[in-house]
Structure 1
Amino acid sequence: MISPKRRISASIAIVLAVGITPALSGCFGNPIESLVEQATGGQVDLGGKEIPEGFPSEVPLVAGDVQFGIAAGEGDSRGYNVTILAGAESPLKGIETELSDAGFEIQLQGSGSDGVGTIIFTSDAWAGGVIVAKTDDGYTANYTVAASGN
């Protein structure tokens, strides 16, 4: 059984990798993969503009162009992070509806007047969060998903 502390460490490593990787993916390679592997004690698949292998099919994703995908850990401790460019209109309400319709319990939904916000969701098998942000290119939806441990 994976301890909650290890799950939190893996989640932090995933978020850090997502935030740092674009800056490091240019001229001098990508050392983040080995750093995240060390932090999580497991396998990491960084980069790519596709949904990571093994991403739970139970978690509905907003339509759009995948900007970045990552998977870290192994077995029950595997976690995922996916960023999708969703278009010119905020997908926040649609994402919340899709998650509810898929059987997820919405633990928290916070939003601003400009269509940005956060959704925290859980089920017996999965827990995660979605952050919707506005960029120059439109709205992005960033999903972080891991086994719930229930």
Structure 2
Amino acid sequence: MRRIVPVLALGAGLSLALSGCFVNPLESITENLVEEGVEELIEGQTGVDIDVNGSGISLPDSWPSELPVPSEGTLQYSASIGETFSAQYEVSGRGTFDDLVSKLEAAGFENTGEIEYGGLTSTALETERWQVSIVYIDGEDSTPAALQYSIVDKDAP
């Protein structure tokens, strides 16, 4: 339950912040204020380090530097909750997913499970310290392909 509430708050905040496209400059200013407010609200209430503004996004400072990141793609959001990390990228295709899985396996991660269903592919990998989940979703029509990368430090309290 302790981790569910921050995740739900994170999901609600992301849904609010990423729910529209704004062209009008006045709306753009409003959007930036809302995004900053959502970020501050989530961070203040949950301790989640989050960036949802869609530009200038970077991985949290606490992101484990010893783990590889996707070789290509545009970071759409990133978050950390304690020693749990998550990032979503817009990618050009499945190759980015395959490359990241290969890099993790080369770094000693054991592939503990795979699921493929339609345009969705998910792989779980782990070492003694880390659990990693990578999900790839094919793009359709005007929707770009996406890669979700989640990391849990098993040594964390």
Tell me the amino acid that sits aligned with residue 56 of structure 1: P
Tell me the amino acid that sits aligned with residue 84 of structure 2: G
Tell me the amino acid that sits aligned with residue 129 of structure 1: S
The whole-number CA distance in structure 2 between the counterparts of 1:95 and 1:112 is: 19
SS of the residue corresponding to residue 109 of structure 1 reads strand
Structure number with bigger Rg: 2
Contact 2:78 2:87 in 1 (8 A): yes
The whole-number CA distance in structure 2 between the counterparts of 1:88 and 1:49 is: 21
Contact 1:72 1:79 in 2 (8 A): yes
Deviation at 1:143, TM superposition (A): 0.8
| 1:63 counterpart residue number | 71
The whole-number CA distance in structure 2 between the counterparts of 1:102 and 1:8 is: 30
| 1:6 counterpart residue number | 2
Deviation at 1:137, TM superposition (A): 5.8
| 1:132 counterpart residue number | 136
Aligned pairs, number? 141
The whole-number CA distance in structure 2 between the counterparts of 1:43 and 1:16 is: 13
SS of the residue corresponding to residue 142 of structure 1 reads strand
Correspondence for 2:51 among 29, 46, 52: 46
SS of the residue corresponding to residue 100 of structure 2 reads helix
Amino-acid identity (%): 16
Point out where structure 1 has 5 or more consecutive residues left out of the alignment. none
Contact 1:80 1:146 in 2 (8 A): yes
Deviation at 1:9, TM superposition (A): 4.4
| 1:148 counterpart residue number | 154
**Structure 1 pair 43–88 and aligned structure 2 pair: CA distance change class (3 A):** closer
The whole-number CA distance in structure 2 between the counterparts of 1:11 and 1:101 is: 30
Deviation at 1:117, TM superposition (A): 0.7
TM-score by length of 1: 0.70
| 2:17 counterpart residue number | 21
Point out where structure 2 has 5 or more consecutive residues left out of the alignment. 22-27
| 2:101 counterpart residue number | 96
**Structure 1 pair 92–7 and aligned structure 2 pair: CA distance change class (3 A):** same
